[in-house]
Each structure stands twice: as structure tokens, then as C-alpha cells.
């Protein structure tokens, strides 16, 4: 068989596997997420209470939630829902332009850690350009379509793809040029924010020109021997994100940079150097996203670190955690009691051409949160923080130091040290790593949950 025929077979195999995963888990994972009405819920530094002080005079219909009794729960339920949905959700995609030097047109089965890293960076950019209080105006209207069975839809896509492959009618998809977001005379903040919202999503598009897209990240990975289809650990992804931000030419991103901690140590002077691009520091100050790769134990997560993770996710400048459980990577962004709240990248969606004006946003926002016990968390992860200026960094260093010292463990997960890393003869971290979040072909997929799958106990 010639090379062209082999490529077509591999593409067909890849499509069949991704379709089979989604069909398999479209009913297996049709589960509801349960939240306690008596415990606070933390989401990237915001605290929500679902229990009302007193019942309203009239019964209120909550179509978004299924309650286990007739009690009416008010409080912050709707605010939490809109806040969660407003976070940018980046998942497996298929049918995107072929990654250069490979036959890959999907990242199903191997790209989940890259996707969780993208979600963390997206949250940092949202803090930078939109602020933590921003909520997507359409968040209240996000629902899954009930007009068609998702499983049947996937089956039809698979059949159509198979038929096209056999008849040779498939054409190589060419990556779209990233059009600059149209500049408008913004008459209000809402219009300006929506421009930024779309632009942030476009920076993560699955095409070669997107600065933080899968094509760009896999290209950067070549410098450490990684290729598309390989597994990328949380620490590797941290360095790829740093490189991607450093080399972007987007004008809106010239005021932000990324610092990756070395040997679980954040050096104050190194962060200051990142923030101050010249001697006139006050004029050229940059915001910085601090990424700290850590291990929360040996083969399993040490439960003594749970309070630390909770403390981190309770801070308003936290941009989340690149983590997961063995064989799967998740983006952790909150918690309730002894469970983490996460977004799952394993649901495979179709490629979206962001060069189209008013491209659809719905697939970039997750309609329902998922929860996972802390005890299932893989110990290998990367924690992220956003600092707008030097004063912010000093406050963050002080607050995190208190949380680190309060840990029950004798040795803190990471430390803040005055001076430069070079003052301590600290070598730079190798970008490549081997980690515990190993992947297999049986990555679970996330169904498009309706808001009725969100349950209060």
C-alpha cells in the first residue's frame, strides 16, 4: 500500500476510534452532578452558598436543577451556574487542518493535557482582559439540544465519513487564516468585552496561525522531542505555554508573560525581571501568570495536601490546576467538601472555523460541572496564578506562604525565595518530563450535559 493509502487508513482509524468513544460514553456518562445544599462551593476564588435563609412565598421552578425533595433552593445557584459556564472549555476536536509533519486531524486520545493547559491559560487571559467579575451574557441560555439523539448524530457522522473515505471524495482541509477581530467603536463595556471574549477563543483555535492552538503547541513541543500524538505532562505543558506567550505578536498580549517555577521554587527577582521589561519598570510593567509544577505525593496523592489545594482554589487570583486522575487530564477550577470541580476535555467535538464572522461560541462553554473525590486526584499537576503587577505578586507571595506553612506536611510543596535562581546555582528545568498521567486509547468522553443534569442535595 502506498503512503497516501496508508495515511487514509490511519485517518479513518482515528475517526472511527473517536466516534466509538463518544458513542460509548454518550450514555455511560449521562449522569447527574450532585451538589450539597449545606456546604459552600468555591470556583476560582468565588464562594457560593446554595441554601437560602428562608423559603420564598411562591414556589419557583428551576428547570436547570433536579431536587431530591420539594424544598426550594435559592441563594447563589444561578450565579454559580453562569460563572461556571462563562469559563472557556477546550476539548478534543476532529476534522481540523492536518498538523504539519503528521497525519493527525484530531487530538482524540492524546491531547487532553494540552487542552487542560489551554483552559488554564484562557482563564489567565480572561482575568487579564475581562476581569474575574465578567460573565458571558449568553451563559443563562446555554442548553444541550434535545431535538436529536447525540448518539445517532455521531453514528451518522461516522457513516458519512466512512463513505466519503471509500469514494475518495474527502479533500484536504486547509487551515483558515486568523482574521483580526473587527475593531468597533465600542459604545459600552459589554460590547468591548464580547470582542475580547471572541478574540481569546480565537487564540486557541485549531489552526496553524492561532498563537495558543494545538498546532502551535505541538510545533513548540518538537524542541524537546515531542511530536503530535505523544503524551504531554503537566510540567511540559507549562513550558510550552510559556514559550507560546513569549513569541506571540498579538498586540493585546504584549503586556502579559508567563513564569514557570524551577524545582518547586518561585524566585522573587526572576518574577520581577519578567514583569519589568526595561529599566523604566513602572511604565512597562507586565502582568505575569505563575505556573508551579508540583507533586502531591508519590504514586498517589497524599491526602495531607487536600487543605492546601482547597486553599489555592479559594484564592481569586488562582487560574486553576492542570491535573487529573491516572490516564486522564482534567482542568480543576473549584471544590465542594471533599470533591474537586473540573472541566473535562475528553469530549470530541467538531472543528470550528473561527475566521467566520460571529462563529458559534456554544461549544466553547461547558453547560454542566463535574465532580471528583480528592482521593482520586493524580499527584502530578501544575498550579497557576495571575499577578497583574508587582504589588499583586507581593500580596500573592505573602498569602501563599501562609497557606504553605499551614500544611500538615513537614516540607512545603513549593517556596518563595528572594533573589534570582542563578544566585543559588539553580539549573533550568528540562522541558521534557515523564509523568503519571499516562494516557490510553480508552479516554472517557464527556457528553454534552443538559443543565437538568446538575443536582442539589
Catalytic residue from among 108, 112, 348, 381: 112
Q: Which residues lie closer than 8 Å to 117 by C-beta, 6 or more apart?
A: 217, 232, 234, 237, 238, 240, 241, 322, 382
Q: 46 with 86: CB under 8 angstroms?
A: no
Tell me phi and psi for residue 381, to 5 degrees: -160, 170
Cell of 330: 482534567
DSSP string covering 238-277: HHHHHHHHHH---GGGTTEEEEE-BTTEEEHHHHHHHHB-
CA distance 41 to 413: 24
Catalytic residue from among 206, 219, 270, 344: 344
Distances (CA, A) of 384 to 70, 94, 218, 234, 444: 41, 28, 21, 11, 25
Query: Is 346 noted as a catalytic residue in this protein?
Result: yes
- Neighbouring CB atoms inside 10 A of 54's CB total 6
Q: 335 with 420: CB under 8 angstroms?
A: no
CA neighbor of 347 nearest in space, from 175, 150, 191: 150
- State how beta strands 339-343 and 370-373 pair: antiparallel
CA distance 211 to 252: 12
Catalytic residue from among 215, 239, 346, 365: 346
CA neighbor of 367 nearest in space, from 454, 449, 453: 449
Query: Is 58 noted as a catalytic residue in this protein?
Result: no
CA distance 322 to 111: 13
| Residues catalogued as catalytic | 112, 344, 346
Amino acid at each position: 500500500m502506498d503512503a497516501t493509502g496508508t495515511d487514509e487508513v490511519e485517518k479513518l482509524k482515528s475517526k472511527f476510534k473517536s466516534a466509538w468513544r463518544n458513542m460509548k460514553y454518550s450514555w455511560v456518562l449521562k449522569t447527574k452532578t450532585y451538589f450539597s445544599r449545606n456546604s459552600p462551593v468555591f470556583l476560582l476564588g468565588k464562594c457560593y452558598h446554595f441554601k437560602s435563609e428562608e423559603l420564598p412565598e411562591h414556589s419557583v421552578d428551576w428547570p436547570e436543577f433536579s431536587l431530591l425533595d420539594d424544598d426550594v433552593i435559592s441563594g447563589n445557584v444561578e450565579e454559580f451556574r453562569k460563572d461556571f459556564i462563562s469559563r472557556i472549555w477546550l476539548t478534543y476536536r476532529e476534522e481540523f487542518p492536518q498538523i504539519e509533519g503528521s497525519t493527525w486531524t484530531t487530538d482524540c486520545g492524546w491531547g487532553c493535557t494540552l487542552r487542560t493547559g489551554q483552559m488554564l491559560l484562557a482563564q489567565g487571559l480572561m482575568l487579564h482582559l475581562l476581569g474575574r467579575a465578567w460573565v458571558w451574557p449568553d451563559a443563562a441560555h446555554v442548553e444541550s439540544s434535545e431535538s436529536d439523539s447525540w448518539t445517532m448524530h455521531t453514528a451518522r457522522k461516522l457513516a458519512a465519513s466512512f463513505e466519503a473515505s471509500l469514494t475518495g471524495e474527502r479533500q484536504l482541509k486547509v487551515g483558515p487564516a486568523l482574521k483580526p477581530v473587527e475593531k468597533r467603536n465600542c459604545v459600552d463595556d459589554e460590547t468591548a468585552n464580547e470582542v475580547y471574549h471572541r478574540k481569546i477563543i480565537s487564540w486557541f483555535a485549531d489552526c496553524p496561525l492561532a498563537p495558543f492552538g494545538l498546532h502551535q503547541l505541538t510545533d513548540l513541543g518538537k524542541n524537546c522531542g515531542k511530536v503530535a500524538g505523544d503524551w504531554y505532562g503537566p510540567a511540559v505543558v507549562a513550558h510550552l505555554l510559556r514559550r507560546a506567550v513569549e513569541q506571540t505578536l498579538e498586540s493585546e498580549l504584549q503586556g502579559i508573560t508567563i513564569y514557570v517555577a524551577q524545582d518547586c521554587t518561585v524566585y522573587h527577582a526572576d518574577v520581577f525581571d519578567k514583569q519589568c521589561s526595561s529599566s523604566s519598570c513602572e511604565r512597562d510593567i507586565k502582568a505575569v501568570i505563575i505556573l508551579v509544577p508540583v507533586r502531591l505525593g508519590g504514586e498517589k496523592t497524599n491526602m495531607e495536601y487536600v487543605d492546601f489545594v482547597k486553599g489555592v482554589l479559594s484564592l481569586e487570583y488562582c487560574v486553576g490546576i492542570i491535573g487529573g486522575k491516572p490516564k486522564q487530564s482534567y482542568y480543576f477550577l473549584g471544590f465542594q467538601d471533599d470533591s474537586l470541580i473540573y472541566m473535562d476535555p475528553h469530549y470530541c467535538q467538531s472543528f470550528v472555523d473561527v475566521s467566520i464572522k460571529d462563529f458559534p461560541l456554544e461549544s466553547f462553554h461547558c453547560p454542566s460541572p463535574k465532580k471528583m473525590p480528592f482521593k482520586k486526584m493524580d499527584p502530578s499537576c501544575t498550579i497557576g496564578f495571575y499577578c497583574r503587577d508587582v504589588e499583586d505578586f507581593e500580596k500573592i507571595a505573602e498569602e501563599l506562604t501562609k497557606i504553605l506553612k499551614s500544611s500538615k506536611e513537614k516540607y512545603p510543596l513549593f517556596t518563595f525565595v528572594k533573589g534570582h535562581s542563578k544566585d543559588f546555582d539553580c539549573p533550568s528545568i528540562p522541558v521534557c518530563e515523564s509523568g503519571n498521567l499516562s494516557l490510553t486509547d480508552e479516554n472517557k468522553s464527556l457528553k454534552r450535559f443538559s443543565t437538568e443534569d446538575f443536582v442539589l442535595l
